[in-house]
Structure 1
Amino acid sequence: MVDAISTALHSALTHLDKKDSYVRMLFIDFSSAFNTIIPQQLTQKLVQLGLNTSLCNWLLDFLTGRPQAVRVGSNTSSTIILNMGAPQGCVLSPLLFTLLTHDCTPSHSSNLFIKFADDTTVVGLISKRDEADYRSEVSRLAVWCRDNNLSLNVEKTKEIVVDFRRAHTQHAPLTINGASVERVGSTKFLGVHITEDLSWTNNTTALAKKSQQRLYFLRKLRRARAPAPIMYTFYRGTIESILTSCITVWFGACNASCQKTLQRIVKAAERII
């Protein structure tokens, strides 16, 4: 996950150093991505990748003919047989989806596809206001999604334009399948808040707010006279894990004020423990 975020940001920042350049980042949302996998289509791609035929047949057998029922209290629905999709919560499902989308690659060198499980981000490195390659790439991706039975949710798909030029013009909206993609100033990318000015104030504010809520429970443990080792374990698992989430991506670039905000939370936790 950190590698995916770092790759996207490094590519964007490197390109922004060039004259008359800006970056468009498209954060794609798929509707029930794992549920739309067609097992036969997946196994065909696995064969093309050189996987053993026996292994491909085993995966096909695993994904087809799966009985499923719903139980609510003492009531159980009738059983249906599923022959599409990958089981939710199965550790194999993200890997199978990754293999299914291995041939979803950019056709232009000025574009990047950042993929992590069912999250896909298109990074368009625009120079001299020429967006032809970026727009054709997005259109091509929409066709690929249709051919591979993936439902691209345009309403939840967001776009950020990073443009530091002094005299930048209004950017024309992007359309997918006839619908306009919403342009936002900030969005969440693999758990990290990305903004159009590539600052980290929104991200650190969100982390601080979430961590401060956990401090309440740490104080409750203190009032209950919980041993220090237990409180420290609680801190490591519920507060420090939040503060250090993808920290190598953003901490070095956030301003002193944001760093102090996070450090105050750490010191507050130390005083409680």
Structure 2
Amino acid sequence: MTSLNDYRAVALTPVVINALRSWSTDTSQQPSCSLDPHQFAYRANRSTEDTVATALHAAVPHLEEHGSYVGMVFVDYCSAFNTILPHKLVVKLQHLGLPYSTCMWINSFLQGRRQRVRVGHRTSSALSFTHRAVCSVHCSTLSTHTCPPEHTFVKFADDTTVMGLISRGDESAYRDEEQLSSWCKANNLLLNTSKTKELTIDFRRKKAEIQPLFINGDCVERVASFRFLGVNIEENLSWSVNTSELLKKAQQRLYFLRILRWNNITQRLLVSFYRASIESVLTYCICIWYTSCTVAQRKALQGVINTAQKITGCPLPMLEDLHNTRCLKKAQNIIKDTSHPGHSLFELLPSGRRYRAISVRTNRLKHSFYQTAITRLNAATKKMSIMPLLY
């Protein structure tokens, strides 16, 4: 043993305790219908794609207004999963409708656990600590569902994005960082301002100088692009950085596909490797960015699939077909889920067969996910109505 870091706890928890831990986690998720609809983590029919789509849909329609712009603050917390106070969590669980006895049981289960660390013949003294592990991420979701209502907060676990929708130069609410700081302090959360970034999306013809944002006296760094949940968002809402990164990753994996081919791996395994390592990269959040890409970017991405097709020796789905299929599936899942933030955007016309299109003024909104999804749904409905006439 040379330092304290050599003692790494490995919890050898009994099966009964593991079962109780799973039960407490499931129980704490029961009031999910009362939670913030903009918290997308650990909920059915939610993914990072829904998170990014919701954040962009909050920004893009606002940019249609004259003299408006958007500020996105990507908030970073210091050890968010390890700063949960059980007694405050219990109060929030009660407000969400859980019985008092259940809340007290969860409070007792989360704290007061005594464990030792044993390495070889050396054993540390018993320490009592608050339980973390599996429960911590779910508890963090519950404890942070009461964000200040003045802004649009889009959250995926502890990844929090503050959407500042600014009109006519009025930044008073956006720059009121005191309320966010007070809320974080009340919930025992520490803002990491060195990793918190600001992205400004401004398409005004006459742009005024935008003052830097300060949180707790520290200036928040303003960036031209930010990697948000695996997707690179740029200040001009183009997808060149994201496309370049996808191409780089996919082309690197083509090398391994060639190696497998040279070693006479069967075609079935080659296709399985392609779908797991290359197609999964190319289609990550494809519903968000594909329609906004340029023709050259789409051809470059399709070129990777064409190369993989030659290596495997069998036809592979085109990227456009993959986008259409996934876009339709995503839209259908949102329509079935009434608690989804985007559910209200799918409004049936009086005929009951087609959905009302979103009023658009720019290509930014026209190529956004929700407008594209509505267009695909209406096209699919029209195709289904024409097919019986052909027979």
TM-score (norm 1): 0.91
Structure with the greater relative contact order (CA < 8 A, sep ≥ 6): 1 or 2? Answer: 1
- The answer to whether structure 1 residue 122 and structure 2 residue 162 are counterparts is yes
User: Alignment partner for residue 90 of structure 2, among 38, 43, 49?
Assistant: 43
Rg larger in structure: 2
User: Alignment partner for residue 105 of structure 1, among 134, 144, 148?
Assistant: 148
User: Alignment partner for residue 11 of structure 1, among 44, 55, 58?
Assistant: 58
**Unpaired runs of at least 5, structure 1:** none
User: Alignment partner for residue 73 of structure 2, among 26, 29, 32?
Assistant: 26
Match of 1:206 in 2: 245
Distance apart, 1:139 and its partner CA: 2.3
Distance apart, 1:263 and its partner CA: 0.7
Match of 1:177 in 2: 216
- CA offsets per residue over residues 192-243 of structure 1, 9 Å max, x none? 1011001111111111111111111111111111111111111111111111
SS at match of 1:132: coil
2:141 and 2:157 in contact (8 A); partners too = yes
Measured in 1, the distance between the counterparts of 2:237 and 2:201 equals 8
Match of 2:172 in 1: 132
- CA offsets per residue over residues 36-78 of structure 1, 9 Å max, x none? 1111111111011111223222322332123455677887655
CA-based RMSD:
1.8
Match of 1:226 in 2: 265
Match of 2:24 in 1: none
- The answer to whether structure 1 residue 80 and structure 2 residue 127 are counterparts is yes
- Give the stretch that moved more between structures: 56-65 or 124-133: 56-65
Measured in 1, the distance between the counterparts of 2:65 and 2:86 equals 45
Considering fraction of residues, name the structure with more strand: 1
Match of 1:246 in 2: 285
- CA offsets per residue over residues 80-127 of structure 1, 9 Å max, x none? 3212x632xx2x4332212111111322xxx31111111100011111
Measured in 2, the distance between the counterparts of 1:241 and 1:77 equals 45
Match of 1:95 in 2: 138
Query: What letter matches 1:116 in structure 2?
Result: F
Aligned residues: 265
Measured in 1, the distance between the counterparts of 2:238 and 2:191 equals 29
1:5–1:69 CA distance, 2 compared to 1 (3 A)? farther
1:68–1:200 CA distance, 2 compared to 1 (3 A)? farther
SS at match of 1:133: coil
- The answer to whether structure 1 residue 260 and structure 2 residue 307 are counterparts is no
Of all paired residues, the percent bearing the same amino acid is 50
1:229–1:73 CA distance, 2 compared to 1 (3 A)? farther
2:148 and 2:183 in contact (8 A); partners too = no
Measured in 2, the distance between the counterparts of 1:186 and 1:60 equals 41
User: Alignment partner for residue 60 of structure 1, among 107, 113, 120?
Assistant: 107
**Unpaired runs of at least 5, structure 2:** 1-47, 313-391
Distance apart, 1:170 and its partner CA: 1.3
Measured in 2, the distance between the counterparts of 1:73 and 1:200 equals 53
1:72–1:26 CA distance, 2 compared to 1 (3 A)? farther
Distance apart, 1:178 and its partner CA: 0.4
